[in-house]
Amino acid sequence: MIGLIDCNNFYVSCERVFRPDLNGVPVVVLSNNDGCVISRSNEAKALGIKMGLPYYQLLELPFGKEVKVFSSNYTLYGSLSNRVHSILRRYVPTVEDYSIDESFLDFSSIEHYITDLFQLGIEIRKAILKEVGIPVCVGIAPTKALAKAANKYAKKETKEGVYLCKEDTQTVLKWTEIGDVWGIGRQYENALLKLNITNAWQFAQLPEKYVLQKMTVVGHRLWKELNGISCIEMELETPDKKNMVVSRSIPRSLTKYEDVENAVFKHIDTLAMKLRRQKQCTSSISVFVHTNRFRTQDKQYYNSFKVPLLKASNNTTTLIRVAKVGLQKIFKPGFNYKKCGVMAFDLCPENVLQGSLFSVAENDKSNTAMHVMDEINKRYGYKVTRIAAHGFLHKAHMLINHISPCYTTELDDILTIKI
């Protein structure tokens, strides 16, 4: 049996952990640069606030100013997510951290000792709520796809927030709309709706041969999962990435080369840090810039340039030099740049590097300095130390006008209790 733990309205729930006054109040969390709504409380959903609603449109609504608004606080969310995942591993040894707010549990190793998985789900749910303060729902079924459907059913249709879908899968599958089936994209959804297939049960009753012909191997695998045949394995280790991108929209358009350069170097700093954390190096760097396509009154421009490295690296100073070459190739004055970013290609393990005849070994002191910088940032806070090349540009910094404190990671933000 497979279980799926899903945190309810996760970002909003994280904000409520340390703000009980927000319970029962409509709350939303905004995307980067306070752009649009990406998490809503049930009260906000009841008001008709849609996912992806731009923030300025929210303010224009009659009840807009009554809604509590927060900027994304990923440091807080990541910290609470780690606490939830650690609790899950107390109950089940095999856990796949599917996302920041979802985890798959493999009960196969403990089913001989646990006679009531439904009760175990309730116990896990109570432990997470008591120790972290995050409400979760639990779906338990023979396969991953069925566990996904059971989790949604538990959230919408049960008081306990737990649903065990063992033999009677028909109830859940008939309740699950075809567009809500895990792995069914919009293209497949439209195609199936044309065949009057509106729910997961109807899809599961299609002939196997027909599904294999029309929906290839991926659709066939999903069909088997919905019919109780497990064929999507647990991913206990995150596979190594082949590429990596770091980019972000800029709150205020940039026109000067120096400002865009500083923003690009900031992304390179983040990219190099992520590479070192994953013990990987990149063999080439691509830099891109573009204007705001929504401002039709402005001149539009988009370009990118890829620069190969003679030897793969994750050294920030090396990657900054490479990125500078790429940016100089594509930057043009006279444009209002709204977004820039960097991409790393052909990633490889840092302990298996092949140089070329013309490559020069990086300075050992420089590599040591990178790792020391990482340790300082890990211990004292994100980017306490940084490479001076990306400066302290405020124009490219994110808009976080509604950010909450980092209650669990910053000493200055720890709650004080008056007795």
Which CATH number is 183's domain given?
A: 3.30.70.270
Of 37, 53, 76, at which residue does a domain stop? 76
Q: Is residue 184 part of a domain?
A: yes
* Residue 223 DSSP code: H
Question: Does residue 266 sit within a domain?
Answer: yes
Calculate the CA 138 to chain-centre distance.
Answer: 20
Q: Give the CA count within 13 Å in the CB-facing half-sphere of 349.
A: 3
Q: Which two tokens stand for residue 15?
A: 């904000």
Question: What is d(CA 274, CA 342) in angstroms, rounded to the nearest whole number?
Answer: 13
What would the pLDDT profile of 304-340 be if each residue is shown by its tens digit? 999 998 888 888 888 999 999 999 999 999 999 988 9
Q: Are 146 and 263 within one domain?
A: no
Does 300 fall in a domain? Answer: yes
In a domain, 189, yes or no: yes
Q: Is residue 407 part of a domain?
A: no
Measured CA to CA in angstroms, residue 381 lies from 67, 93, 221, 295, 384 at distances of: 31, 31, 44, 37, 6
Tell me the chain's radius of gyration from C-alpha atoms: 24
- Containing 268, the helix (H) or strand (E) segment is helix 257-277
**What whole-number distance in Å separates Cα of residue 210 and Cα of residue 216?**
10
Whether residue 379 is predicted with pLDDT greater than 60 in this model: the reply is yes
Q: Which two tokens stand for residue 307?
A: 């620069």
Average pLDDT over residues 223-234: 87
Same domain, 64 and 111: no
Residue 395 has pLDDT above 60, yes or no: no
Note down the domain range covering 63: 8-76
Query: Do 66 and 114 reside in the same domain of the chain?
Result: no
Q: For the residues 117-122, what does the mean pLDDT come to?
A: 91
**Do the beta carbons of residue 135 and residue 7 sit within 8 Å?**
yes
Q: Are residues 213 and 118 in the same domain?
A: yes
Between the alpha carbon of residue 68 and those of residues 55, 62, 254, 393, the distances in Å are 12, 14, 31, 29
Question: What is the domain count for the chain?
Answer: 3
Arithmetic mean of pLDDT, 63-88: 91
- pLDDT, mean over the chain: 86
